[in-house]
Amino acid sequence: MRNQRTKTASSKTVVVVLTADPEFTQAVQSTFAAAEQIELRLLSGTTESHENALALDDATVVVIDLDPDHEVEMSALARLMARIGDWPPVVVVTHTFDKDVARQLLQMRVADFLVKPVQPVELVRTCARVVQTPASAEPSEAEIFTYLSAVGGAGVTTLAIQTALLLLKSNGHKARPATCLVDLDFQHGACADYLDLEPRLDLREIEPRPERLDRQLLEVMTTYHASGLAVVAAPNRPAEMRSFDPDMVTRLLDLVSSHFNYVVIDMPRTWFSWTDSVLLGSNHLYVVSEMTVPGLKHAKHLVAAIRERLGDGPRPQVIINRFEQSLFSSGLRKSDIEQALGDDFLMALPNNYSLVREAIDRGVPLDDIKPGNKISAQLRKLVTPPTADKAAAGQKPQKKFAFSWARS
């Protein structure tokens, strides 16, 4: 029977690290030893040698440096996980990434795993995240933000990424909410490239049998940014234009939406057989365009098409990206946008190409480069929870269509 211990009541965070690697030992010492609120317990050796001697009753988190090529080590870890139960959470560090090994680790209910070399900040953030999110926590349905482009090059990927990063920090001093960015542009997707991450979603593995996709396999195919943002993205295939089984896409989004608090979806411009289901499953639907006459026309036509197809589904709203207007300019003004789009116009985001370019090149939030910038200030209006305002006005929250409903 698995142990159901609760968190330690100690005033200090007790981090137990088991490793036989001198280099990793030194890295752990320099990472944790300087923090007064952390008590580091460093054990030298393998999981097999310490399996029965580990005292973890007051541990907050356990980090195990494991060689998955040794079957005895994997067996020892499995027995250890069965003994300690759901607490404390265990983070495993391995020397290589292997999908089969990762799946075994997740089946053991390991809280997370990292691949060497591990950056100190990544190790700290991972430990903090698994402590805040116990394995026994019940999954909850996500709030879903979906972006799609009315014209090419409108900046949808940038806005999706920055929205996801803002959502990640939206809880202030409370435990950080789990946020996932999903790139559904399987042909030209760029979310992973913008964040300098390895895209791990293996479509060829899950497409033949979508039912194989479970929480463990999803975790194997998820990449984590240094900020803690989860990213689900596949290697793009620019020369391969084809649709995928709607069951595969909706199965993927059903899983993601049930295991994260917030989901941000970057949609392709092409309309596929599964597009309706994705849009129906969204809470917030944003059409992104540019400040040109053709851009406004395309946005208006796309909004009309979405309304016709979705009926009572989520209401699409238009965001005009890279908005700029000189005092004596003869070009389009904001009043022209409002007149053209009417109530469908949501906001205009200011143009700051140099700031956005630097954020993309470095794979960081805009606020990391320029705190308080106007683009982030506008985007924060999208991620501010609307429920409080609606409750104050006596309104009911917007109806949420589940992916499983949309698929049926």
Whether the bond between 371 and the residue before it is cis, its omega within 30 degrees of 0, is: no
Structure confidence at residue 136 (pLDDT): 44
Domain 13-132 of CATH type 3.40.50.2300: yes
Of 51, 60, 48, 49, give the one whose Cα is nearest residue 87: 60
Reply yes or no on whether the pLDDT at 266 is more than 70: yes
pLDDT above 50: residue 274: yes
Q: How many angstroms separate the Cα of 330 from the Cα of each of 267, 321, 323? A: 34, 19, 14
Average pLDDT over residues 44-56: 74
What are the tens digits of pLDDT across the range 344-391?
999 888 888 899 999 888 888 888 899 889 998 989 888 875 544 444
DSSP letter at 100? H
d(CA 148, CA 201): 21
Report how far apart, in Å, the C-alpha atoms of 392 and of each of 379, 382, 397 are.
22, 18, 11
Angle made by CA atoms 198, 199, 202, in degrees to the nearest 5? 135
Q: How far is it, in rounded angstroms, from Cα 115 to Cα 95?
A: 6
pLDDT at 287: 96
pLDDT band at 319 (very low <50, low <70, confident <90, very high): very high
Residue 28 has pLDDT above 50, yes or no: yes
Residue 300: pLDDT band by 50, 70, 90 thresholds? very high
| Range from 117-121, 292-296, 298-302, 319-323 carrying the lowest mean pLDDT | 117-121
Reported for 175-178, long-range contacts at CB under 8 A and 24+ positions apart, including other chains, are 175/132, 175/133, 176/129, 176/132, 176/228, 177/261, 177/262, 178/133, 178/230, 178/259, 178/260, 178/261, 178/262
Contact, 91 vs 127, CB < 8 A? yes
Query: How far, in Å, CA of 326 to CA of 120, rounded?
Result: 46
Q: Do domains 13-132 and 143-407 have the same CATH topology?
A: yes
Q: Regarding predicted confidence, which is higher, 301 or 363?
A: 301
Write the pLDDT tens digit of every residue in 195-225. Answer: 989 999 988 888 787 777 777 788 888 988 8
Cβ atoms of 324 and 291 within 8 Å: the answer is yes
Supply the DSSP symbol for 138: P
Angle at 312 between CA 306 and CA 317, to 5 degrees: 45
pLDDT in tens, 137-176: 444 568 999 999 999 888 999 999 999 999 988 754 344 4
Higher pLDDT, 129 or 137: 129
Please compute the mean of the pLDDT values over residues 55-60 and round it to a whole number.
Answer: 75
Q: What is the mean pLDDT of the chain?
A: 79
| Domain parsing of the chain, residue ranges | 13-132, 143-407
Report whether pLDDT(244) > 70.
yes
Q: Is residue 194 within 8 Å of residue 363, measured between CB atoms?
A: yes
- The domain 143-407: what is its CATH number? 3.40.50.300
279 confidence band (pLDDT: 50, 70, 90) = very high
Distance CA 228, CA 122 (A): 8
Q: pLDDT, tens digit, for every residue of 63-95?
A: 888 877 778 888 888 887 877 766 778 888 887
Predicted pLDDT at 331: 67
- Percent of the chain past pLDDT 70, that is, above it, reads 81
Question: CB of 321 within 8 A of CB of 288?
Answer: yes
Strand intervals (E) in 188-235: 223-224, 230-232
CA distance 129 to 180: 14
Angle CA(392)–CA(396)–CA(399) in degrees, nearest 5? 140
pLDDT of residue 391: 42
Inform me whether the pLDDT recorded for 405 exceeds 50.
no
Q: What pLDDT, on the 0 to 100 scale, is given for residue 32?
A: 74
Residue 171 to residue 261: CA distance in whole angstroms: 11
What is the rounded average pLDDT of the residues 20-28?
81
> What Cα–Cα distance (Å) separates residue 132 from each residue in 84, 87, 169, 181, 311?
18, 12, 14, 20, 40
State pLDDT tens for residues 304-317.
999 998 887 789 99
- pLDDT computed for residue 115 by the predictor: 81
pLDDT of residue 327: 58
